[in-house]
């Protein structure tokens, strides 16, 4: 026959008090941290869902960083095409003046000097940097000028990097986008012509008084401007794509963050109520244990 002893009751009361203490500690942790679970082992199913959503949030953050980087590169390229467009428009106006007006030698040489300045500015635009890196060449210079003994530009040659296509960035599972545009797509046009040779040749024609060549160059300038318009449209399409993707990614991140909160965060009102309840249960268990332990001591005496 099973016999209940005073020592057995004492041990049970101590175990019950310890169990209540563990539950009270868990309730206190939930209130202080605001998290529903402390370790995955506390709730493997829920913990697994939390890990999955956290991984999804992490990928989304990386995709957003990629999108922001791509947008910056594309907007920089867009700025370059606009600067090149403004420059060629100025050169075209100067060419029309030489072609349509009777100019003195000094006026013509003044215009040739202006075109020479625009040539140097075009080189600066093409070799722009963002930070320490070239917009179109990374660590390499896209275009290299050869100067005479007086520092005047004789030629401008493209390095191999000018034809390099921009890197593709990952914006999602299987979704990629070119983060920029190749320099040659901006500064080359027609049948292997480039803006540098065009402006340099125009400068030389104006200097030499070759009015016929200057007139012919106006049409070529129009071709170069048309190419810039096409490059601007291409960049604009890519900017629109990356902005749409960014908006979609931001929405997805909000939804994932909300789901993560629902899975991982505790209901603070419910947690406080549970804590108060567990504290009351724990105090009751201590009182019961104290009475039983007191009887055990009396029996021992």
Say whether both 212 and 283 belong to one domain.
no
In a domain, 3, yes or no: no
* Cα-Cα-Cα-Cα dihedral sign, residues 126, 130, 135, 138: positive
Structure tokens at 283: 């105090």
Q: How many domains does the chain have?
A: 2
Three-class secondary structure of residue 138 per DSSP: strand
Structure tokens at 107: 């006026």
Place of tokens 């995955």: 40
Structure tokens at 18: 């310890």
Say whether both 251 and 285 belong to one domain.
no
Say whether both 153 and 282 belong to one domain.
no
Question: Using an 8 Å Cβ cutoff, are 98 and 43 in contact?
Answer: no
DSSP code per residue over 69-128 = HHHHHHHHHHHHHHHHHHHHHHHHHHHHHHHHS---HHHHHHHHHHHHHHHHHHHHHHT-
Query: Residue 153 — pLDDT band, cuts 50, 70, 90?
Result: very high
Say whether both 248 and 279 belong to one domain.
no
Residue 35 in this model has a pLDDT that exceeds 70? no
Whether this model's pTM surpasses 0.85: no
Output the average pLDDT for the chain.
Answer: 82
In a domain, 35, yes or no: no
Q: What CATH number does residue 125 fall under?
A: 1.20.1330.10
Say whether both 173 and 234 belong to one domain.
yes
In a domain, 23, yes or no: no
In a domain, 134, yes or no: yes
Query: Residue 25 — pLDDT band, cuts 50, 70, 90?
Result: low
Say whether both 96 and 210 belong to one domain.
yes
Say whether both 156 and 280 belong to one domain.
no
Backbone angles phi, psi at 36, to 5 degrees: -70, -35
Say whether both 73 and 123 belong to one domain.
yes
In a domain, 69, yes or no: yes
Say whether both 110 and 228 belong to one domain.
yes
Note the pLDDT tens digit of each residue in 188-247: 998 889 999 999 999 999 999 999 999 999 999 999 999 999 999 999 999 999 999 999
> Which residues are registered as beta bridge partners of 35?
265
> What does the pLDDT read at residue 136?
86
Say whether both 249 and 193 belong to one domain.
yes
Note the pLDDT tens digit of each residue in 52-102: 878 888 999 999 999 999 999 999 999 999 999 999 999 999 999 998 888
> Which residues are registered as beta bridge partners of 172?
175
In a domain, 226, yes or no: yes
Say whether both 129 and 199 belong to one domain.
yes
In a domain, 135, yes or no: yes
Say whether both 162 and 286 belong to one domain.
no
> Which residues are registered as beta bridge partners of 129?
134
Domain that holds residue 289: 269-301
Q: Which residues contact 33 (CB under 8 A, 6 or more apart)?
A: 266
In a domain, 230, yes or no: yes
* Cα-Cα-Cα-Cα dihedral sign, residues 180, 183, 187, 193: negative
């Amino acid at each position: 026959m099973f016999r209940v002893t005073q020592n057995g009751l004492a041990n049970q009361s101590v175990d019950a008090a310890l169990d209540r203490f563990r539950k009270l500690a868990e309730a206190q942790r939930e209130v202080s941290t605001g998290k529903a679970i402390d370790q995955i082992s506390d709730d493997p199913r829920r913990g697994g869902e939390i890990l999955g959503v956290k991984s999804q949030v992490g990928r989304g953050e990386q995709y957003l960083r990629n999108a922001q980087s791509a947008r910056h590169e594309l907007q920089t390229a867009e700025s370059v095409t606009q600067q090149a467009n403004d420059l060629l428009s100025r050169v075209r106006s100067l060419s029309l003046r030489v072609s349509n007006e009777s100019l003195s030698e000094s006026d013509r040489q003044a215009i040739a000097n202006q075109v020479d300045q625009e040539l140097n500015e075009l080189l600066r635009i093409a070799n722009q940097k963002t930070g320490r890196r070239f917009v179109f060449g990374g660590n390499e210079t896209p275009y290299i000028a050869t100067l005479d003994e007086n520092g005047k530009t004789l030629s401008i040659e493209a390095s191999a990097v000018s034809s390099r296509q921009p890197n593709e960035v990952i914006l999602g599972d299987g979704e990629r986008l070119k983060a920029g545009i190749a320099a040659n797509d901006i500064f080359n046009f027609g049948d292997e012509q480039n803006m540098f040779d065009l402006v340099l040749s125009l400068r030389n024609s104006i200097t030499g008084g070759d009015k016929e060549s200057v007139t012919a160059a106006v049409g070529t300038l129009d071709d170069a401007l048309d190419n810039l318009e096409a490059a601007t449209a291409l960049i604009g399409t890519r900017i629109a794509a990356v902005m749409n993707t960014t908006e979609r990614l931001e929405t997805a991140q909000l939804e994932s963050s909300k789901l993560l909160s629902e899975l991982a965060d505790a209901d603070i009102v419910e947690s406080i109520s549970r804590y108060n309840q567990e504290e009351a249960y724990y105090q009751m268990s201590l009182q019961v244990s104290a009475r039983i332990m007191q009887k055990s001591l009396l029996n021992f005496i």
